[in-house]
Structure 1
Amino acid sequence: MKNKFLRLILVSIFALTACKTAATADISNASIKKIINNPDVTLVDVRTPEQFAGGSANNAINVPLADIINNPTSLKGKKVVVFCNKGIQADEAVKILKKNGVEVYDGTSWKNVKGIQDSSL
């Protein structure tokens, strides 16, 4: 019984902390690079303000996932790339924003977006 419970906990933890799957990626790496570096795109970090203060991509704004849930049309009319720590919150933000008519792309993690920015310099 203990082993089954332990396995369930480990699987749950893995599922919650795992990186994105291929099923959630809907554009190519080359395309996301062009989108991230487009000056007309708004980069949106969906982590908490405390996490955002610890570091983020260049020129990113902080709109926590909770704010997107409460006001899903706040970014309407903008082309946005959303990201977080590992992509889980970003995936949720993409679903919500797409459902509300926002042109949105998934940048996965802030380190991914920052790395793309830095490699383009």
Structure 2
Amino acid sequence: MVVSYIYQQRIMKTLTEEEFRAGYRKAQLIDVREPNEFEGGHILGARNIPLSQLKQRKAEIRPDKPVYLYCQNSVRSGRAAQMLKKHGCQEIYNLKGGFKKWTGKIKTKK
């Protein structure tokens, strides 16, 4: 577990909400939570590619563009970062504290 955490910190940069907000509009914003969580509320502009589907859907993510990831509390986004690194993504960012700490604009499914 500790080795995995240290590896995740090397392949992705964890950003504060302020840092995340400053860059995510120019990047691929991916919510790796499950669809029911996404529908309950997500960051405006995010695409939902659940961690459980990421291996099959990784072609939807361009490795040449920055990727901003988040989940509920940063655990699944760390696993997603490992998969995306293997896919060739170089710039991978994670929202510190995950969606539960987000105070910015959100969208919910009506």
Instruction: Specify the TM-score bucket, using the shorter chain as the normaliser.
Output: 0.5 to 0.7
Q: Secondary structure at the match of 2:60?
A: coil
Structure-1 residue corresponding to 2:108: none
Give how far 1:54 is off: 0.5
| Greater Rg over alpha carbons, structure | 1
Q: 1:107 aligns with which of 67, 88, 95?
A: 95
Unpaired stretches in structure 2, ≥5 consecutive residues: 106-110
Identical columns (%):
24
Q: Secondary structure at the match of 1:37?
A: helix
Question: Are residues 1:73 and 2:66 paired?
Answer: no
Q: Secondary structure at the match of 1:71?
A: helix
Give how far 1:35 is off: 4.7
102-111 or 32-41: bigger deviation? 32-41
Summarize the Cα distance change of 1:87–1:28 in structure 2 as closer, same or farther, 3 Å threshold. closer
Give how far 1:64 is off: 0.9
TM-score, normalised to structure 2, is 0.68
Q: Secondary structure at the match of 2:59?
A: coil
Ranges of 4+ aligned residues in structure 1 off by more than 2 Å: 23-30, 32-39, 71-74
Summarize the Cα distance change of 1:79–1:28 in structure 2 as closer, same or farther, 3 Å threshold. closer
Q: Secondary structure at the match of 2:43?
A: coil
Structure-2 residue corresponding to 1:18: none
Question: Are residues 1:53 and 2:42 paired?
Answer: no
Per-residue CA deviation, residues 68-96 of structure 1 (Å, 9 max, x unaligned), is 12233321233111111111110100000
Q: Distance in 1 between matches of 2:18 and 2:82?
A: 21
State the number of aligned residues: 95
Summarize the Cα distance change of 1:50–1:29 in structure 2 as closer, same or farther, 3 Å threshold. closer
Structure-2 residue corresponding to 1:40: 26
Q: Whose RCO is larger (CA < 8 A, sep 6+)?
A: 2
